[in-house]
Amino acid sequence: RRGLGVAAGPPSTRQLREAEEAAPVFQYVGKAAKRKDRVFVWGFSYSGALGVPSFVKPDAGWKKPRRIQPTPYRLETEEKISSAACGYGFTLLASNTRDITKVWGTGLNKDSQLGFQRSRRDQTKGYEYVLEPSPIPLPLEKPQQTRVLQVSCGRAHSLVLTDSEGVFTMGNNSYGQCGRKVVEDEIYSGSHLIHQLKEFDSEVVQVVCGQDHSLFRTRKGSVYACGWGADGQTGLGHYNITTVPTKLHGDIAGVNIIQVSSYGDCCLAVSDEGEVFGWGNSEYLQLASVTETTQVNVPRHLPFKIGKVKEAACGGTGNAVLTEEGNVFVWGYGILGKGPNLMETAVPEMIPPSLFGWSDFSPDIRVAHVRCGLSQFAALTNRGELFVWGKNLRGCLGTGRMEDQYFPWRVTVPGEVVDVACGVDHMVSLVRSFT
Amino acid sequence: LNAAPGRAPRQRVRFLPAPAPGGGGAVELVAARVPVLADHPLVRGPRFKKLKIGAGHRLDVKASGVFVLGVGHGNKLLTDLYNCHLTKVYIVGGLFGKATDDFSDTGNLVEKTTFDHITREKLERILAVIQGTNQKALLMYSNIDMKTQEAYELAVKGLIRPMEKCPPIITAVRCLQFALPEFQLEIHCLHETQQYLRKMVHEIGLELKSSAVCTQVRRTRDGVFTVDDALPRTQWNLQSIQEAIQNCQLKVETELERTLG
């Protein structure tokens, strides 16, 4: 308040400057503030796969059930999630912590693909739909030392990869996809059985689930498979089911494979020299570059002249690969990402980099990862932006619109997207905040 | 302008009486070219009494830079250029640590915050996201059906542009200089106002969990006109203006033809 001897009127420059310097300084975040890791989900929610119970069963009077979440929605998790996988109506989230609880599951559990979730109403039965990320009890020998490296989900089964105790499988085993003998008339719902697989030539470094089969990649660069084989997706030279993980030969024998991918009935593998190998279903021209047959049961080398391949992703009817230069090539059938006119091709076609934000103004934008859902594609750039395209089944693209997307479209996520997992009708992304 | 030599007066053919060659008092009509008296400077007066000058895109009092003006017939070209919806380039200077009520450094102080946690990386991440969301807005407001092959081809070439009224859209942002607490951005935008740019600087500050004010807004390009074409204060005379108009004529014509057909 001014004193009696001070003149009235607008404050002089000196007074303003002094007032400014005397003003208190607020600190919102310190110098050593770390960026936070978050999980965002979007897509069809009634299966419980999004992990938000209020979407399915509103807990307040004014809330309405939300069938579809069209834009990314933040999912609160107790721990930092390092790996996520989307199956057909369910999701697995894993953290590489040393705590007892390492894996959480949410969504469909009719085949115990999320392990046994004890129902609170009836202690003998399990939940068929899990609406919230719930811990999955793994039968670990050293639960406070083992870390979970990666999770993967298929149609009705899931795989959990640990660093020292092999692979744990759970869920439907009607075709041996869990790596154990098929038990006739086994009831999978409410089952406590989680099988452990350790018999591989070296440590398993990547697990991949196809629709009803499982692929394991070991440190030595070999690939093992088990499960349904009617389309040759096990790659073992026959069309029968396999109940024990068996090593693949064919064109990948002796080749150091650095990545495998599968989601439907077709499989792709990338070697350390950048060559692509494929086997499985070829009804949609996925392997038409080497053969006319619609089922290939032995891995075949795909002679593409597109440069050294870094990563491959298999969808239901379309495939995508990422080269070392950061270009994305797509082939197969369906919405491939080059406009409505390109619906099928047997030879990979490049998606122009300008669609991912590359321009004269920002020439160092590259695609860092590609992922596939059943009929969707997702690409992550080195700037942390997420681009999606494909069939927008029940809002799974996350663009906010319900129409199919014929070319790559940005998804607005409040943060830098580190990884994304695509499912049939939902997607999960692991995001780091900006500051 | 009025002192410059004007057009020569119009001529017309008149049949004037002249004495006949034969002599005597007979008068015959002879055709002669005479200047029209209505064109005589003493009758007509000064050629230019008023000049119609129109302004292009608005520029704030606190901002500086390229300001396009149209003279006389150029005003029609101004409306055409407005309908071309070309981007403008601004250099925006900002200062971290303060927040004021009108988002510039001359306003009333609202809050002071710390800013030592801000790095160039974080700023560039925020800028990348701003660009991304505005890219989406660009595609949405351009009113093309996303499902057509034509939309795909335009998107590949980067030629999708809204051709009608739409809210401000930023097509590209880049950080030019970063020296805490100051920073400088280069912004390419459409349909914006300078206050919107200042608000954006404020929002960038908020996003970085601090606060920022805008110290400088300078327009370096307005459609086809750059700083090189612009006349500084010392060159605001007739000669330079005429030269500048002539130099830009070709550029403006080609741009109009390309966009409006």
Query: Could you say which DSSP state residue A434 is in?
Result: -
Residue B177 touches partner A, C-beta closer than 8 Å: no
Please give the pLDDT value at position B132: 82
Please give the pLDDT value at position B74: 85
Q: Say if residues B116 and B207 touch (Cβ distance below 8 Å).
A: no
Q: How far apart are the C-alpha atoms of A215 and A252, rounded to whole Å?
A: 14
Please give the pLDDT value at position B49: 84
Residue range A33-50, pLDDT digits in tens? 788 899 999 999 999 999
Structure tokens at B162: 């809204």
Which residues of A are less than 8 Å from B152 in CB distance?
A: 338-340, 406-407
* Backbone φ, ψ for residue B28 (5° rounding): -130, 160
Q: How far apart are the C-alpha atoms of A294 and A280, rounded to whole Å?
A: 8
Residue B153 has pLDDT above 90, yes or no: no
Which 3 state secondary structure label does DSSP give B217? strand
Residue B24 has pLDDT above 70, yes or no: no
Residue B112 touches partner A, C-beta closer than 8 Å: yes
Residue A363 touches partner B, C-beta closer than 8 Å: no
- Say whether B147 and A410 touch across the interface (CB within 8 A): no
Identify the band that residue A322 occupies on the pLDDT scale cut at 50, 70 and 90: very high
Identify the band that residue B23 occupies on the pLDDT scale cut at 50, 70 and 90: low
The full DSSP string for A61-94 is: TT----SEEEEEEEE--SS---EEEE-SSEEEEE
Residue A123: partners with Cβ closer than 8 Å, 6 or more residues away: none
Q: What is the pTM of this model?
A: 0.84
Please give the pLDDT value at position B36: 84
**Percent of chain A whose pLDDT exceeds 90:** 63
Residue A297 has pLDDT above 70, yes or no: yes
- Say whether A435 and B174 touch across the interface (CB within 8 A): no
Which residues of B are less than 8 Å from A19 in CB distance?
A: 109
- Say whether A338 and B208 touch across the interface (CB within 8 A): no
A421 Cα to chain B: minimum distance (Å): 21
- Say whether A409 and B136 touch across the interface (CB within 8 A): yes
Active site residue B228: no
Identify the band that residue A52 occupies on the pLDDT scale cut at 50, 70 and 90: very high
- Say whether B157 and A384 touch across the interface (CB within 8 A): no
Lowest mean pLDDT among A176-185, A220-229, A352-361: A352-361
Which 3 state secondary structure label does DSSP give B56? coil
Residue A345 has pLDDT above 80, yes or no: yes
Residue range A152-172, pLDDT digits in tens? 999 999 999 999 999 999 999
Which residues of A are less than 8 Å from B131 in CB distance?
A: 357, 362
* Mean pLDDT, residues A352-357: 88
Residue A366 touches partner B, C-beta closer than 8 Å: no
- Say whether B136 and A30 touch across the interface (CB within 8 A): no
Please give the pLDDT value at position A86: 94
Residue range B58-109, pLDDT digits in tens? 888 889 999 998 888 888 888 888 888 888 999 999 999 989 998 988 888 8
Please give the pLDDT value at position A319: 93
Closest-CA residue in chain B for A381? B128
Identify the band that residue A150 occupies on the pLDDT scale cut at 50, 70 and 90: very high
Residue A148 has pLDDT above 70, yes or no: yes
A49 Cα to chain B: minimum distance (Å): 27
**A-B C-beta contacts closer than 8 Å:** 101
Residue A400 touches partner B, C-beta closer than 8 Å: no
* Mean pLDDT, residues B131-150: 82
Show the beta-strand stretches assigned E in chain B: 11-19, 27-35, 53-55, 64-65, 69-71, 88-96, 98-100, 109-113, 169-179, 182-190, 212-222, 225-226
List Cα–Cα distances, A90 to A58, A76, A84, B91, in angstroms: 20, 17, 11, 49
- Say whether A26 and B111 touch across the interface (CB within 8 A): yes
Residue A226 has pLDDT above 70, yes or no: yes
Residue range A174-189, pLDDT digits in tens? 999 999 999 999 899 8
Which residues of A are less than 8 Å from B155 in CB distance?
A: 354-355, 407
Residues 6-65 of B with CB under 8 A from A: none
Lowest mean pLDDT among A8-22, B72-86, B184-198: A8-22
Which 3 state secondary structure label does DSSP give A215? strand
Ramachandran assignment for A132, one of left (phi > 0), alpha (psi -120 to 50 degrees), beta (any other): beta
Instruction: Tell how strand A83-86 and strand A328-333 pair up.
Output: unpaired
Domains in chain B (CATH in brackets) are: 1-49 (no CATH), 53-228 (3.30.2350.10)
Count of helices and strands (H, E) across chain B: 6, 12
Residues pairing with B172 in the sheet: B188
B157 Cα to chain A: minimum distance (Å): 7
- Say whether B126 and A434 touch across the interface (CB within 8 A): yes
Please give the pLDDT value at position A207: 94
State the ipTM, two decimals. 0.75
Residue range A90-115, pLDDT digits in tens? 999 999 999 999 999 999 999 999 99
Longest dimension (CA), chain A: 101
- Say whether B208 and A435 touch across the interface (CB within 8 A): yes
Residue range A57-85, pLDDT digits in tens? 998 889 999 999 998 999 999 999 999 99
Please give the pLDDT value at position B260: 74
* Mean pLDDT, residues B207-228: 90
Which residues of A are less than 8 Å from B146 in CB distance?
A: 403, 405-406
Identify the band that residue B261 occupies on the pLDDT scale cut at 50, 70 and 90: low
